[in-house]
Amino acid sequence: MFFSFFVLSPIFLHYARGLSIPRDVTTLPAPLRTVDCSTHVPQPIQLALNVTTFPGPLPPTLVCGELDVPMDYSKPMAQDNTITVGFAINRPQKPAGLMLFHAGGPGLDAASAAWAIALNTSDAAAFAGLENFDFLAVNTRGIQFSNPLNCTSNTFYNNVSFAFPSTQAEFDQYQAATSNFIQSCVKNSSPPGIVQHVGTAEVIQDWDAIRAALNYEQIHFVGVSYGTFVGAAYAAKFPARVGRFILDAVIPHGMPFQDMITDQVAAINRLLLRADAFCMIDPSCPFHSQGKGGVVTAWQTVLSHALKSPLPAPQCGPGKGCNNPVTATDLRLGASVFFRANPDFPAFLQALDLALNKGDASKFAYVPAADIRESVVVPLLCSDLKITDKSFDAFQAFSTNSQKSDPAKMVYAQIWQFVLMCDAWPFEAPEPAKLPTNLPLLWTTSDFDLNLPTELATFAFEQAPNSTLLIRHGDDHVSFDLPNLPSHKLQIDFLRTGAFPPAQDNANVTVIPPGGKRSSVAPDPYAVPLGLVAGDFSAVENNLPQSASIHKPGSGSGQKSDSQSLLNGQNLKEVGRYVVLLQCLLCFSLSIL
């Protein structure tokens, strides 16, 4: 499905014939170095095309470059304190400004977005309207063309067969395995010490160095997911450089872990109700005839069975890549996988039916290789998130304290897992601090984002009195990659013109203007439309007759292009029936993490 990359536009053929683009666009000013894009192919494109070198001519607007920067900015650049940061830019002849893109992750490839724009592949749809900017996408340090970390993945989980520790001994075992993973990065990465210098504090200085070298006074910015954390840090450190900034699917600075975890547990409870609402309009849902609440009852029954004794998972077991049997912990983690990123309600409902009525809980089984605790996310994330109390008791307390927002006893929260992973981080991380700002930024959120619950965007917006909050009504992590929805047009218009979306409140979006206050009442999972207008696009959701909707959401299509996965497809691999996306934690669309 991600091969549509190769559907080339006429514009490509035009360039390929070598016509007219002035030479100076293709050469970057010193100290930047221009490198050959055909040998600097972003990893998702390498994977999609199964190449390391690009086979054929590339448009001259696509320029690849690199810059040497200090590994540790607190010290002078010296031979043992230098790393190289790589990037790609789409450079039209008369740029309307500099636009920087961060794809989230942390560590997800962004450069393929510049490629998509230059080649006008179907992935470019999310960026349509931005072709006349210098569109810059930087490899985060530690990734691909920026001194990639060399860590030993998919090894240490073999010692840890469970998803989540429930005793001190299991906690210790988990910490030992995560430490082993981190030590493998430390030992095998170069230059020595780089693992301690891959945090946001450094990344934003890399960006500013590239901006200065490109001779721009200001940057416009689109950051999704983890990119919001980095973008907000850039804005705080370099306020004079801030142009039009979109921070979409927000992880805020300075929000206490407990609050984020409690909000995420509330969010997964809302997702269960969204699945229930979906079942009410989908005649093929196994629980359809049971009406409102049928899905919640089914979940509670399966969970109570699993709590009594683990559930059989006949499609899993030794050599299959997934664990048999399925514990209550596995079941909860498995449910969150269905609900993350772009939630797949039909798949969840089928899996629940199999577990409840067919004696097969395989679809909820734990897949160790999908676990983020052995991906580059660990060093990138843990460089930023300081955990003060690293004890098992403190870890458990986060969950105990979130019970008040957990009527369906979903328990698992990914942000809780961040704490667990980063408990093993042996280095410093900055003190958590809020970043209040008077800058006029455009924050964006959706009602039912599980990865970064909407309350987190509210937290950031409340500290930004001159900012605007765009709320997309529907599901999904990230809105920017839904080019057919009304929210996307508001975002693109803002990037092109600087005009903030006007205050409004309708079925698709609510826009809260500067100084406005967001209602603290959580959105009603049964009241917000489902299906394409909500950003949902599984096969079943695509085929639902519009008349089946409780709310008759209109005829527009919010479908993300299939090849959107090009932007997300790094480290995609099949493990049994599971498509596992490693390295993609808080990322753009299709991730399961």
Ligand X SMILES: *[C@@H]1O[C@H](CO)[C@@H](O)[C@H](O)[C@H]1NC(C)=O
Query: Which residues contact ligand X (rule: CB under 6 A)?
Result: 9, 11, 50, 120, 131, 150, 155-156, 159, 176-177, 180, 188, 438, 440, 466, 485-486, 506-508, 533, 554-556
- In the complex, least distance from residue 557 CB atom to ligand X, rounded to whole angstroms: 7
Give the residue with the Cβ less far from ligand X, 11 or 579: 11
Nearer to ligand X, 336 or 491 (CB): 491
State the nearest-atom distance from the C-beta of 241 to ligand X, in Å: 14
Q: Which is nearer to ligand X, 126 or 452 (CB)?
A: 126
Cross-strand bridge partners of residue 87? 65, 138
Residues 6+ apart with CB under 8 A from 114: 62, 88, 89, 90, 101, 135, 136, 137
The first and second tokens of residue 9, run together, are 């536009």
Nearer to ligand X, 453 or 531 (CB): 531
| Dist CA 236 CA 437 (whole Å) | 7
Q: How far apart are CA 481 and CA 225, in angstroms?
A: 12
The H or E element that residue 69 is part of is: strand 62-70
**Nearer CB in complex with ligand X: 399/508:** 508
| Closer Cβ to ligand X, 188 or 357, answer by number | 188
Measured distance CA(485)–CA(409) in Å, rounded: 33
**Is there a contact between 275 and 349 (Cβ–Cβ < 8 Å)?**
yes
CB of 150 to ligand X, least distance (A): 4
Give φ, ψ of 86 to 5 degrees: -100, 155
Contact 295, 269 (CB under 8 A): no
Nearer to ligand X, 406 or 562 (CB): 562
Distance in Å, CB of 184 to ligand X, minimum: 8
Name beta bridge partners: 88: 64, 137
- Sign, CA dihedral 323-327-329-333, equals positive
The residue sitting closest to ligand X, measured at its beta carbon, is 556
Q: Which is nearer to ligand X, 9 or 154 (CB)?
A: 9
Q: Which is nearer to ligand X, 180 or 401 (by Cβ)? A: 180
Cis peptide before 325 (omega within 30 of 0): yes
- Cα gap 552→559, rounded to integer Å: 17
Q: CB of residue 469 vs ligand X: minimum separation in angstroms?
A: 15
Contacts of 400 (CB under 8 A, 6+ apart): none
Least Å from the CB of residue 507 to ligand X? 4
Q: Please, what is the minimum distance in Å from the beta carbon of residue 9 to ligand X?
A: 5
Strands (E), 476-555: 504-505, 509-512
| Least distance from ligand X to the Cβ atom of residue 357, Å | 36
In 3-state terms the chain splits into helix, strand, coil percentages (rounded to 5) of 40, 15, 45
> How near is the Cβ of 532 to ligand X at its closest, in Å?
8
